[in-house]
């Protein structure tokens, strides 16, 4: 079959990447989608079982730091688009092991940029109709103050905003906010964003960067707050709340992020930046209570019986207080809107984890890693 486009999606076996791969494979049968992933602990091909046999899907096990392999894949498939999600993504791991984050997030991104540059510059048409799209995070902007700890009515609202429309401060991260990362994770992502922009400014590579808020939904590795807590509640295990549970995060359903990526990949302005978020701020302790109530209701347990699992533990080092994304540019310029209201999204998410206990058991036992190691070798 002749494909109209050949697109590498890196990190496609991870949480957000698997939703992006699924969306592209199903929506664009005329595109060939190459999922380039190293299959670290966070990568799991079981996340893509429903698309793995599609004609327009290819899996390539590779490390984004391996220049020759990456360049070889770009050339082999005559790749014209790269959507780059592969990364080390967990803040707590970055505090323990910052070098791995510098390697994958900084050197890996640079390797991918250089490989694409060399291949695209070798073609007669050069950068024409090419695109390098880098997926980043709101954490590069640093932390906002909690100027309204009890919450105020947010001046902005979207379909995703929960019923209470709260904001916990008056400032938001815009595309103009100065970078000020605090954790080794966000420092490595900030550095990778700078390299992507440098490749546009220096070589004219058609790049684009987006910075999104916290995602939630199916297939998220259960080291992150929401899936970890759903699983712990199910098994009546303590819920480790860092500090006082007062930190604020801005939550977006993962499929809404994937839809934004699709739109921006096709319609976004070259060299531009878009913030992605649904104006949906929650204090950790409040979101945790919503998750507990939802799990208890769906498991038909006594109302609030699992509130006593909440256990306050030592705070994360350098814990950013508040993230809140201003996504009005994306709404205004490209017409993107989140499709799911937060209460619906949480219900869907909790239900998915409860219905997919086998997936959870596999990733928590590490069994899926052994299975794929036999198939593809060690990560």
Could you give the CA distance from residue 8 to residue 74 in angstroms, rounded to a whole number? Answer: 8
Count of CB atoms situated within 10 Å of the CB of 86: 30
Could you give the CA distance from residue 157 to residue 206 in angstroms, rounded to a whole number? Answer: 32
Residue 222 phi/psi, 5° resolution?
A: -80, 45
Query: Which x/- pattern over 261-290 shows residues binding ligand TYD (rule: CB under 6 A)?
Result: -----------------------x------
Could you give the CA distance from residue 179 to residue 344 in angstroms, rounded to a whole number? Answer: 33
Residue selected from 156, 242, 352, 371 as contacting ligand TYD according to rule CB under 6 A = 242
Minimum Å gap between C-beta 229 and ligand TYD is 7
Query: Which x/- pattern over 301-340 shows residues binding ligand TYD (rule: CB under 6 A)?
Result: ---------------x------------------------
Count of CB atoms situated within 10 Å of the CB of 159: 15
Q: Is 291 in the site for ligand TYD (CB under 6 A)?
A: no
Could you give the CA distance from residue 293 to residue 288 in angstroms, rounded to a whole number? Answer: 9
Minimum Å gap between C-beta 77 and ligand NAD is 16
Contact residues for ligand NAD (CB under 6 A)? 10-11, 13-17, 37-40, 42-43, 63-65, 85-89, 104, 108, 135, 137, 189, 212, 214-215, 221
The secondary structure element, H or E, covering residue 134 is strand 131-137
- 312 catalytic? Reply is no
CA–centroid distance for 374 within its chain: 27
91 binds, among ligand TYD, ligand NAD, none (CB under 5 to 8 A by kind): ligand TYD
Query: Which x/- pattern over 82-101 shows residues binding ligand TYD (rule: CB under 6 A)?
Result: ---------x----------
Closest CA to 193 of 208, 183, 206: 208
Residue selected from 71, 84, 200, 249 as contacting ligand TYD according to rule CB under 6 A = 249
Number of residues written out for the chain: 379
Minimum Å gap between C-beta 66 and ligand NAD is 8
> Using CB atoms within 10 A of its CB, is residue 243 exposed (0-12), middle (13-18) or buried (19+)?
middle
Stretch that binds ligand TYD, among 7-15, 73-81, 224-232, 254-262 (CB under 6 A): 224-232
15 binds, among ligand NAD, ligand TYD, none (CB under 5 to 8 A by kind): ligand NAD
> Using CB atoms within 10 A of its CB, is residue 138 exposed (0-12), middle (13-18) or buried (19+)?
buried
Looking at the Cβ atoms of 301 and 316, the one nearer to ligand TYD is 316
Number of residues that bind ligand TYD (CB under 6 A): 12
Applying CB under 6 A, the residues found at the interface with ligand TYD are 91, 214, 224-225, 228, 240-242, 247, 249, 284, 316
């Amino acid at each position: 079959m002749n494909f109209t486009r050949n697109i590498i999606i890196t990190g496609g076996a991870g949480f957000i990447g698997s939703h992006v791969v699924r969306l592209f494979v199903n929506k664009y049968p005329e595109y060939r989608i190459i999922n380039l992933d190293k299959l670290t602990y966070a990568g799991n091909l079981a996340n893509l079982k429903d698309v793995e046999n599609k004609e327009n899907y290819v899996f390539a096990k590779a490390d984004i730091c391996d220049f020759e392999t990456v360049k070889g894949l770009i050339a082999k498939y005559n790749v014209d688009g790269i959507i780059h999600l592969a990364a080390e993504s967990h803040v707590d791991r970055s505090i323990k092991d910052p070098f791995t984050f510098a390697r994958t997030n900084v050197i890996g991104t640079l390797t991918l940029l250089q490989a694409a540059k060399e291949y695209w510059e070798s073609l007669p048409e050069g950068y024409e109709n090419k695109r390098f799209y880098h997926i980043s995070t709101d954490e590069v902007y640093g932390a906002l103050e909690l100027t309204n700890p009890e919450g105020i009515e947010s001046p902005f609202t979207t379909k995703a905003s929960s019923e209470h429309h709260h904001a916990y401060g008056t400032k938001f991260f815009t595309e103009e906010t100065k970078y000020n990362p605090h954790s080794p994770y966000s420092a490595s992502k900030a550095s990778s964003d700078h390299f992507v922009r440098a490749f546009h400014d220096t070589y004219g590579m058609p790049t684009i960067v987006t910075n999104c808020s916290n995602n939630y939904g199916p297939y998220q590795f259960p080291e992150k707050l929401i899936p970890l807590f759903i699983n712990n509640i199910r098994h009546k295990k303590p819920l480790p709340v860092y500090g006082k549970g007062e930190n604020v995060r801005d939550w977006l359903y993962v499929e809404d992020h994937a839809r934004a990526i699709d739109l921006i990949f096709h319609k976004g302005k070259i060299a531009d930046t878009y913030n992605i978020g649904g104006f949906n701020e929650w204090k950790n302790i409040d979101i945790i209570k919503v998750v507990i109530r939802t799990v208890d209701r769906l498991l038909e347990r006594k109302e609030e019986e699992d509130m006593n699992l909440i256990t306050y533990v030592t705070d994360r080092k350098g814990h950013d207080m508040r993230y809140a994304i201003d996504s009005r540019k994306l709404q205004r310029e490209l017409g993107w809107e989140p499709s799911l209201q937060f209460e619906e999204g949480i219900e869907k998410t909790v239900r998915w984890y409860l219905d997919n206990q086998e997936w959870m058991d596999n990733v928590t036992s590490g069994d899926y890693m052994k299975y794929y190691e036999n198939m593809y070798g060690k990560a």
